[in-house]
Amino acid sequence: MSRKPSYLHFDKPAYAWKPDIDYRAQPELYRVGKGEQGVLICEPYKSEIGQFWRFKTKAIAEESSRKIHALFTAYLDENDFVGADMARKYLQMGYTRARRYANYKGGKKYDKDHDYQQLERGTGEQEKAEAAAVFFEKWKEAESNVLYKNLKNNWKRTLG
């Protein structure tokens, strides 16, 4: 069975997150979604958090995840659920992207020149696996935060 990447048939108009919305000014338009959805779109959080998102080495991942987790905590201190959720998404994306590079050489999972066949797994870099582990720990720490969990449950119940 050949699975192709979901981005091949991406329906941009139907996507819940829009790049022209200021989600701090209009937080009610934000949707939690699944996984990392919206993480590279939602401003001003994308600009505030994304500048720190790095996973090239374990040491870089440690510094990056520490800064992003500090932003996560600061957003919670301000009762800014959208910011906290976006920071949590960046931590999750640090894990998933680093794992992609750990699993596949150059981080490429599909071969676009051969009908998007999945490339051989296990050809990636061990250092990226170590970076992924760093992000995984901070991501799970953020997800287990009681205040965050309560805000997220309330948000999903009332706004989606």
Q: Whole-angstrom Cα distance, residue 62 to residue 42?
A: 24
Instruction: Look over the chain and give the mean of its residue pLDDT values, rounded to a whole number.
Output: 92
Q: Tell me the domain boundaries of the chain.
A: 21-158
Is the overall model pTM greater than 0.85, yes or no? yes
Classify residue 124 by its DSSP letter: S
| 69 in Cβ contact with 142 (< 8 Å) | yes
How confident is the model over 12-39, as pLDDT tens digits?
A: 888 889 999 999 999 999 999 888 999 9
**122-147 confidence digits (pLDDT tens):** 777 899 999 999 999 999 999 999 99
What is the SS3 string spanning 24-79? Answer: CCCHHHCCCCCCCCCCCCCECHHHHHHCCCCCCCHHHHHHHHHHHHHHHHHHHHCC
Is the predicted pLDDT of residue 3 greater than 80, yes or no? no
Cα dihedral 138, 118, 5, 48 in deg (nearest 10): 30
**Integer Cα distance of 25 and 21 in angstroms:** 8
